[in-house]
Chain A
Amino acid sequence: MTLFGHKAPLTAQFGLAIVAIDLLVAVFGPWLAPYGQSQSVGDTWGAPSAQMLLGADQIGRDMLTRLIYGARTTIGIAACTTILSFFIGITLGFTAAVGGAWADILLSRLVDIMLSIPQLILALIILGVFGSSIPVLIVTIAVLDSTRVFRLARALGKNLTVLEFVEVARMRGEGMWWVISKEILPNAMAPLVSEFGLRFCFNFLFVATLSFLGIGVQPPYADWGGMVRENAAAINFGLLAPLYPAIAIALLTVAVNLIVDWLLSIDARPSGAQAEM
């Protein structure tokens, strides 16, 4: 695969292959899975067999089926969260950069307050108060994550607003929306896309963490973090059960990072900034 005339190195090709497989599994999961996700078909931690390629989980559900359904929930939630988080973060970040001193002070200090509280604790409180349904989970993680996106978007916006083509647009009397969408956003795309990959990883791990703690995705829905927790006890008996979802988490994280590394190596600088040097 090539992007802007840059061929993907072997590592990035590996990453792309893993992500592609995970996405296919997430989209077509119900057609691929041999059983239903809450269907009990074997013994507790039953050994792998022709019927259950990876064995069974703690209550006899097919591990492979759970992994396939888990891809759907975990990746789906992480993707929704990251998209929402970028929408919030970029909008507010650019507003702070372009909208004048007061908007900047107000938004930046608000974000500082949120950043000063540990993310996990804040998530625990919010989910504890509102209950842990999937929409609440997505909005909560997105809002917490958007503070990081805000920081990046604001910094990029600040760097770009001082460039003269933005000054020209302002001298013409263009509104803030034009300045943000036509002058700043296209030039900030490269670093934002790279950051999107990284934040997707963090969000995906965060969902897994919350599920592991029991306040993320609720049973009987399968998700990788929750599966690790449910099967954790199997380790005591020398069984592989919790390692399958753990490996799925690790593989996807590594794969996304390999792709991001490649994107960063192409060009992560905001365009226009090159001319300043």
Chain B
Amino acid sequence: MSDDLVLHLEGLRIETIKGVVLVDNVDVTLKRGEILGLIGESGAGKSTIGLGAMAYARAGCRITGGTININGTELRASTAIQRRNFRGKSIAYIAQSAAASFNPAMTLMDQVCEAPVIHGVMTRPEAEAYALRLFRTLQLPNPDTFGARYPHEVSGGQLQRAMAAMAMSCRPDIIVLDEPTTALDVTTQIEVLALLRDLIREFGTAGLYITHDLAVVAQIANRIMVLRHGKMVEVGDARQVLEHPHTPYATALVNERREATHVPLINPPEGAPVVLSVTNVEAGYRTGMPAVKNVTVTIARGETLAVVGESGSGKSSLARVVAGLLPQWRGEVKLMGQTLAPSLAQRPRDVLRRLQMVHQMPDVALNPRQTLEEIIGRPVAFFFGRSGKTNKERVRELLRQVGLPQDFATRRPGQLSGGQKQRVCIARALAAEPDVIICDEPTSALDPLVAEEVLKLLRRLQDELGLAYMFITHDLGTVRRIAHRTAVMLKGEIIAQGATADIFSPPFHPYTEKLIASVPEMDTTWLDQVLAERAVA
């Protein structure tokens, strides 16, 4: 074995205790300073492999085959105590949710210094000095005093960087990065991505970078491994996989991601009557700070208005005002020219029927103890008084409309995939025969290829039924595919609004430009270009 090889997994096989195979026959080699991107949809086994590289299996799973070799030591043949000495010291892990990975009762410095002191790599003063150096490299604000803060006192992006410092604190040979930027806003993601890359380069660490986003991995990985259902589909040089994938599955993934930035923009329908109008609306929560400030938007029949913004921009609050879940302080909401009561409780049943909502997380939007027949049949019975046989017929018709088999009617949500669940949510909204559907990030919890199918379904239904959509999203790729018009929100205000084609072409509002420029592109040089442009500006 060459000296450069720090991690070598061969024939790795991980199963659940009941014998379901999660990872099958996966080989990974990692040289010093090299980054391998693991790409795949949810359930592809990416995270399981990442943890498997540390010879760790989640509760209910176990490693049943293969070898795990770090720096020439076979971990599967080692004792539990020997394995523990490797974790944190030779191989470290950065999780997706930084907020859930820190102990809220300890300062950041205590947590960063914990591992090196326990592993006997450094004394506490040495560890603190090293932590300061890491804080500086990661460009954390006030690095000298940053460590004295508690996790809740810093922002999400800073916490993610603090976790990188924690992982690097023992100077590990290998670092496993499990979707470290997925929970961040695009404009924050770009900074964290650049800093992580610099950090890994500066310290010569090898990395396993787990993500579902090809464009992100393109910026950071030397090589890419595409996974599906726990098996290797394709492994190769990053540029080669992105530009000339061999296998059909990798090609589909690449094409889907490429289309996101190159789909032709759709023009708004002309002369259609306005269905929903929101005028000078101001709303907020108890604190007195408005979450939505002076917002005015309209949506016409058969039209999709995308409301785009980062987390905290007020886009979901706007949706909740329209839905009557968050009564506005000022301004009015009109549906077909009729002014709506601010609160849900005061709206007549017919108004409730005409305004439906599709939520972000289909898992929690469907009652797990009801069958699809009950879930979809209830609005049919509630709004139209149809029961018995006619109700069942209507449910089957709706299932067909959203592209689900008829015999799903007797299933429960637990027996469906994420994409199928979201189709059920759409069917439930359609059951009310609405005029407007508020879609609150309906595709952001779905895998890219599945999300694409759901967007196609929404577009088809719009053409067939003349529905108006208010589409809340943070993803500009989604906006391009579905929206006729777009409103960009920042700190509760709409800073730009118009036909999607106009929003996405110059002259830009400065924030829109920053937002567009922050969406990673599937080009291995993209990050360097953006950073260079920013340096000039």
Contact = CB atoms under 8 A, between A and B. Distances in A.
**Chains A and B belong together in one complex:** yes
A165 B382 contact: no
A186 B369 contact: yes
Interface stretch (A63-71, A168-176, A224-232, A253-261): A168-176
Given A165-B367, A183-B367, A171 B428 contact: no
Contact of B352 (A167, A171, A187): A171
Contacts of B361: 164, 275
Contacts of A172: 352, 378-379, 382-383, 432
A187 B368 CA distance: 8
A114 interface: no
A271 B325 contact: no
Interface in A153-186: 163-165, 167-168, 170-174, 182-183, 186
B357 interface: yes
B364 interface: yes
B323 interface: yes
Contacts of A42: none
Contacts of B27: none
B369 A187 contact: yes
A164 B365 contact: yes
B366 interface: yes
Contact of A275 (B324, B349, B364, B383): B364
Nearest to A183: B367
Contacts of B364: 163-165, 272, 275-276
Interface in B113-151: none
Given A183-B367, A187-B369, A170 B357 contact: no
Contacts of B323: 171
Interface residues of B, number: 25
B367 A174 contact: no
A234 B383 CA distance: 71
Contacts of B349: 173
Contacts of B324: 171
B209 to A, nearest CB: 24
Q: Which one of A170, A173, A182 has the highest number of Cβ atoms from chain B below 10 Å of its Cβ? A: A173
Nearest to B356: A171
A173 B352 contact: yes
A276 B356 CA distance: 23
Interface string A168-208: 10111110000000110011000000000000000000000
Contacts of B325: 167, 171
A238 B325 CA distance: 71
Interface in A225-272: 271-272
A272 B362 CA distance: 11
Contacts of A171: 323-325, 344, 352, 356-357
B363 interface: yes
A183 B428 CA distance: 15
Given A171-B356, A174-B382, A186-B370, 15 more contacts: A164-B361, A164-B364, A165-B366, A167-B359, A168-B357, A171-B323, A171-B324, A171-B325, A172-B383, A173-B382, A183-B367, A186-B369, A271-B369, A272-B368, A275-B361
Closest 3 CB pairs between A and B?
A275-B363, A186-B369, A164-B365
30 contacts: A163-B364, A164-B359, A164-B361, A165-B367, A168-B357, A168-B359, A168-B365, A168-B428, A171-B324, A171-B356, A172-B352, A172-B378, A172-B382, A172-B432, A173-B344, A173-B352, A173-B382, A174-B382, A182-B367, A183-B367, A187-B367, A187-B368, A187-B369, A271-B368, A271-B369, A272-B367, A272-B368, A275-B363, A275-B364, A276-B364
